[in-house]
């Protein structure tokens, strides 16, 4: 059972816009910023969005992030076949001694 809640799956056709949600609580998303990671099959995760809505160098602007209250979202516009991957949200959780917590992951299928 992951601390952050994501839908297990999402899908879209090429060119479409899809969004993936991530729900948390006051101790994590509610008080800290959110990162998003993309994991292509058989590879290590890759940082996609940091600090709610910042893109690392090299990440296309088709990817965007937002946060409101205790929830966050990742949006992918102009969907491409190579976007088919697992997506994870993450946030620092202030409870106990503090820890990074992840969502359970969302498998994105490009139809």
Instruction: Give contact residues for another protein (rule: CB under 8 A).
Output: 2, 32-33, 35, 37, 44-47, 49-51, 56, 88, 90, 92, 96-105
Task: State which residue, 30 or 102, has the beta carbon closest to another protein.
Answer: 102
Q: Residue 46: in which H helix or E strand, if any?
A: strand 46-49
Smallest distance, Å, CB 49 to another protein? Answer: 8
Quick one: 81 exposed, middle or buried, by C-beta within 10 A (0-12, 13-18, 19+)? exposed
Which tokens belong to 36?
A: 């998003």
The Cα 18–Cα 78 span in angstroms is: 9
Smallest distance, Å, CB 24 to another protein? Answer: 14
Task: State which residue, 21 or 33, has the beta carbon closest to another protein.
Answer: 33
């Amino acid at each position: 059972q992951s601390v952050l809640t994501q839908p297990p799956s999402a899908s879209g056709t090429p060119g479409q816009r899809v969004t993936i949600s991530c729900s948390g609580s006051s101790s994590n998303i509610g008080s800290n910023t959110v990162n998003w990671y993309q994991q292509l099959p058989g590879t290590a995760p890759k940082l996609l969005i940091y600090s709610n809505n910042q893109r690392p160098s090299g990440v296309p602007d088709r990817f965007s992030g937002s946060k409101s209250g205790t929830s966050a979202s990742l949006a992918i516009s102009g969907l491409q076949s190579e976007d088919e991957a697992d997506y994870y949200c993450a946030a620092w959780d202030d409870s106990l001694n503090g820890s990074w917590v992840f969502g359970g992951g969302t498998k994105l299928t490009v139809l």
